[in-house]
Structure 1
């Protein structure tokens, strides 16, 4: 089991990063939000989960161990494989998933591409006692945070993919204008895809 990676980031693409460890470049698939925190040429660290199949060894990377643990837990649900589990974390934070399961919020689960109503019901049923409770404040209420703007993470991801900062900022501004409000974690993937479409094939 490879539990974590630490090394120089030698490549970042839309769905994965390549991290050099001991002279070997390891590919780790990750969510856009996680990839946005990595910069080519700089040190990077990921919590990881190795998925072993008869014909492949695939590494998935996460911002922290909690994300990795949730990734592994949701795969215990019948019909949920690693790609769908990663998609769930691209749309929801670990605590958001816990709240959706605990509150039987099928609509929230169905926002994940590939999950329909029956799949959401199955996830709620099979994960009820496996994800644990969402983080709570001292008073027992769910922890809430002021909306944080993730535009910077999208810009960093585009820079990591090879565009210069000005081009990346302009593309993000076209997809998510400042007057449209903050870009939260659940929107990072969509904004990144939109910015890539704006940039097209022209590299800086």
Structure 2
């Protein structure tokens, strides 16, 4: 598999480029921000992921390792193909993706063309626990709040009528107060958070 390309940029499109690597012109699909940062004639190195299918071999390129990681992880989500995965990288920074998954913020993914509300929730559920926060992300979001069951519990709470804001606050409060909460199952977590909501927000339920 081709994991990177180094050569001269011979063409730059809105979302693609061609790199001359030792006389071979390699066509690479890239996010618009990567394309806009490059100029024809300059030397560059692009990190790549190759998608091999029966009738094609397609390269997708990125300027940062975190962008490629997000792209590759998006491909593990059912119903997400390379086109939508690339659109996610174009619309959201790796930090924004990590934070959205960790906090169960599925609405962040509805900004991406091709992802509706159901698809966004599926992204959050299937990527829970898979994304590794960078040091910068860790400063913005305490790791103690990133537990595997959080998206499922948030989904259940909102299905029961709690607002997303109250649900997120209750889960974060419970996780912060219970360091061992990451070891419990979804059912026990839901029961415990419901008890917290019932005692602290009995007048906010809809």
Identify the TM-score tier after normalising by the shorter chain: 0.5 to 0.7
1:88-113 CA-partner distances (Å, limit 9, x unpaired): 00000111101111111122110001
State the TM-score, normalized to the length of structure 2.
0.66
Counterpart in the other structure of 2:125: 125
Q: Which has the higher contact order (CA 8 A, sep 6+)?
A: 1
> Is the CA contact (8 Å cut-off) linking 1:33 and 1:90 kept in structure 2?
yes
Counterpart in the other structure of 2:200: none
> Is the CA contact (8 Å cut-off) linking 2:12 and 2:40 kept in structure 1?
yes
Counterparts of 1:135 and 1:89, CA distance in 2: 19
Matched, 1:14 2:21: no
Query: Once the 2 structures are TM-superposed, how far is the Cα of residue 80 of structure 1 from its aligned partner?
Result: 0.5
Query: Once the 2 structures are TM-superposed, how far is the Cα of residue 44 of structure 1 from its aligned partner?
Result: 1.5
Specify whether residues 33 and 107 from structure 1 end up closer, same or farther in structure 2 by C-alpha distance, changes over 3 A only.
same
Indicate the SS of the match to 1:114.
Answer: coil
Of the three residues 126, 140, 143, the one matched with 1:142 is 140
Counterpart in the other structure of 1:58: 58
Matched, 1:3 2:3: yes
Query: Once the 2 structures are TM-superposed, how far is the Cα of residue 115 of structure 1 from its aligned partner?
Result: 0.6
Counterpart in the other structure of 2:43: 43
**Unaligned 5+ residue runs, structure 2?**
142-206
Counterparts of 1:39 and 1:102, CA distance in 2: 36
> Is the CA contact (8 Å cut-off) linking 1:28 and 1:59 kept in structure 2?
yes
User: What pairs with 1:184-203 in structure 2 (closer than 5 Å)?
Assistant: none
Query: Once the 2 structures are TM-superposed, how far is the Cα of residue 134 of structure 1 from its aligned partner?
Result: 4.7
Counterparts of 1:134 and 1:42, CA distance in 2: 30
Counterparts of 1:81 and 1:3, CA distance in 2: 19
Indicate the SS of the match to 1:110.
Answer: helix
Counterpart in the other structure of 1:82: 82
Indicate the SS of the match to 2:111.
Answer: coil
Counterparts of 2:5 and 2:114, CA distance in 1: 29
Query: Once the 2 structures are TM-superposed, how far is the Cα of residue 51 of structure 1 from its aligned partner?
Result: 0.4
> Is the CA contact (8 Å cut-off) linking 1:96 and 1:134 kept in structure 2?
no
> Is the CA contact (8 Å cut-off) linking 2:14 and 2:36 kept in structure 1?
no
- Larger Rg, first or second structure (1 or 2): 2
Aligned residues: 141
> Is the CA contact (8 Å cut-off) linking 2:106 and 2:123 kept in structure 1?
no
Computed over aligned residues only, the root mean square deviation of the Cα atoms, in angstroms, reads 1.4
